[in-house]
Structures are given as C-alpha cells and as structure tokens.
C-alpha cells in the first residue's frame, strides 16, 4: 500500500486507490518526458551574491573532457558537496538555479554536463516535433556506463579541490536525473546519500540498452536514497513506487532507503518553470531532502 503525504508535517494518508492508478508507460521517452517539456512560466531566480560560480572541465568516462557548472560559497572553507543531475533538457537555467540554492545553504553543487558529447538539449524545443527526436537522441546517447563514469569523474574532481569536504558527497537529480541517483548510489561507495526526484525505477517494456534499472540494483545500494515521487505521475505511475519498495524490502533495505509520495502532484512538481510546479509539495520535498542529507552526515 502506497503512503501519500498530504500535510506539511508529513502525516500519512493511506490511499489504496492511488496504487492502482495508471499502467506502465509504453516508452520512457514518450511518457515520462512528454509531460516535462519546458514552457514559459515564472521561475525562481536565486541571487548569486556571496557565491563563487565555476565552469570547470574534468575527465569523465573514457577520459572525455567533460564540462560542468559549479556553485559554491565564496567564503574560504571545506564544504560538503551535492552532485546535481539534470533532466533531459541539460544544464539549463533551472538546474543552475538548483546549484545556486544549494550553494546558499553551504554546499558545493556541481552539475556535470552528461550530454555534452552529443549536443546541448537546452537549445532544442521538446514541443517541436522537428527537434524533439534530436533532443531524445542526445539523451539516449548517454548510456549507463558513460554516466556512471562521468559521476566518478565528478567525484575525482571534487576530491582535488581545497574547498571540498570530500568525505561528504551527496547526489540529487530530477526526472532522467532521478533514475541516475538510484544507479549512482549503487555504483559508488563515495556517495553518502541520494535524493531522487521522480526518476524511473523499473525497466521499460523495450530496453534500449543492456543495463539495469533501480528495481534491479536494490541489493547493490551503497548509500541511502530518498525517493520523492508524485501521486499523479502518468509517466512514472505508483506501480513503479510499489515495485521499488518491494525490491528494497526483498533485500532487507540495507541502507535504509525510503520513498515518499506527495499528494495531488504531477511529474515535475519541483520544476518551478513548468505548469506542473506545486509550490507546497516542492518546498516540503526540498526540506525533506535537506533533512535527509544532514541525517546521513552530508
């Protein structure tokens, strides 16, 4: 039975009917992402005063010279870190602002450009059929082995900086990036905590590569993951949440990972630049993420 969080305090409302909502999506692209196309809307802008903004390059998978966006407190010190994993739209304004928000809270936030090898999806219009396939081609080129290698490269870069507390690294990600959080938390023992925002957890009906998905690596998790999911997500229906919870339980959930589902929310409920944005749920989920990181020592 899926627990739906309705109140700011997180009081549980058991809603068995919601666990039956939706059917597994026919395609990870046409369902999960089709709901997520960026539109013109009022977005949050975080001031960068007191921050240092960097755009370094580091060695990613296959020794590729990968660019990244970094925000950190300007004041000297060694700070905990959060790897920020983007949606399918790349390192656009929203992802950069997530980095700014985290840096304001005393983190070094790094957003690697996982799609750089193939192009820049932030310049393409998902809602235009002529550019949609190009965008999805860029995203599809970033296979799991490459992305995990790029995560390793980001961690290695962080470990080489004097403003980083390298023993306190977390990871968070949105949509495409949410799935990456689960996989990276099974891949690297150097990650201490993860927060996955509505990322896919079960294999699509037709796999596009020989890879595993979060439900298949529950036993391999090395860091505790907090899943932050929407109860009305047509691309990632609650059946996926239930399957992931079952997978964790079947393996005795060794890291204590947890999944929260927020009531009356859609895919992308944290994305303040989209109509799907739910201010109340976004703020509550953000607070849960920060508490989770602190609880895990990050």
**For the segment 241-268, what is each residue's pLDDT rounded down to a tens digit?**
999 999 999 999 989 999 999 999 999 9
Q: Which of 206-220, 226-240, 283-297 has the lowest average pLDDT?
A: 206-220
Structure tokens at 154: 């980001």
pLDDT over 60 at 192, yes or no: yes
Residues with catalytic function: 175, 233, 267
Q: How far apart are the first and last CA of the chain?
A: 31
The pLDDT tens digits for 78-120 are 999 999 999 999 999 999 999 999 999 999 999 999 999 999 9
Euclidean distance between CA atoms 76 and 166, whole angstroms: 15
What's the half-sphere exposure (Cβ side, CA atoms, 13 Å) at 264?
A: 7
Confidence of residue 2 (pLDDT cuts 50, 70, 90): low
pLDDT over 80 at 170, yes or no: yes
Q: What are phi and psi of 247, to 5 degrees?
A: -65, -40
What's the half-sphere exposure (Cβ side, CA atoms, 13 Å) at 5?
A: 18
Q: What percent of the chain has pLDDT over 90?
A: 76
Strands 51-54 and 225-230, by their bridges, are unpaired
Cα 285–Cα 70–Cα 224 angle in degrees, nearest 5: 40
- Looking at the structure of the chain, the number of domains it has is 1
Coil, strand or helix at 115: coil
Euclidean distance between CA atoms 108 and 77, whole angstroms: 11
The pLDDT tens digits for 133-154 are 999 999 989 999 999 999 999 9
CATH of the domain at 211: 3.40.50.1820
Confidence of residue 199 (pLDDT cuts 50, 70, 90): very high
- Alpha helix positions (H), 200-278: 238-250
Residue whose C-alpha is closest to residue 74's, from 205, 163, 201: 163
Provide the domain limits for residue 77: 3-295
Q: Which of 22-26, 111-115, 198-202, 292-296 has the lowest average pLDDT?
A: 22-26
Contact 81, 106 (CB under 8 A): no
Q: Look-up: residue for tokens 């997520």?
A: 36
Cα 78–Cα 175–Cα 113 angle in degrees, nearest 5: 50
């Amino acid at each position: 039975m899926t627990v739906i969080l309705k109140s700011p305090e997180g009081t549980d409302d058991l809603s068995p009917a919601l666990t039956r909502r939706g059917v597994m999506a026919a395609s990870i692209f046409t369902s999960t992402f089709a709901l997520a196309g960026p539109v013109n809307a009022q977005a949050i802008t975080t001031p960068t005063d007191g921050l240092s903004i960097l755009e370094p390059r580091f060695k990613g998978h296959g020794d590729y010279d990968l660019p990244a966006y970094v925000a950190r407190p300007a004041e000297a010190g060694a700070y905990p870190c959060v790897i920020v994993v983007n949606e399918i739209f790349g390192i656009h304004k929203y992802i950069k602002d997530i980095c700014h928000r985290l840096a304001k809270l005393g983190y070094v936030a790094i957003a690697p450009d996982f799609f750089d090898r193939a192009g820049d999806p932030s310049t393409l219009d998902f809602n235009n059929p002529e550019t949609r396939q190009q965008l999805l081609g860029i995203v599809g080129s970033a296979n799991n082995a490459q992305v995990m290698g790029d995560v390793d490269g980001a961690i290695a870069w962080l470990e080489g900086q004097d403003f980083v507390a390298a023993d306190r690294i977390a990871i968070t990600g949105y949509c495409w990036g949410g799935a990456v959080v689960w996989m990276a938390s099974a891949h690297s023992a150097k990650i201490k905590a993860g927060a996955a925002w509505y990322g896919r957890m079960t294999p699509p009906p037709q796999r596009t590569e020989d890879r595993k998905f979060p439900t298949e690596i529950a036993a391999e998790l090395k860091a505790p993951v907090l899943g932050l999911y929407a109860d009305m997500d047509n691309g990632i229906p609650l059946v996926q949440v239930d399957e992931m919870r079952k997978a964790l339980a079947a393996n005795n959930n060794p890291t204590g990972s947890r999944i929260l589902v927020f009531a009356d929310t859609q895919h992308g409920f944290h994305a303040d630049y989209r109509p799907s944005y739910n201010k109340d749920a976004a703020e509550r989920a953000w607070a849960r993420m920060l508490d989770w990181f602190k609880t895990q020592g990050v």
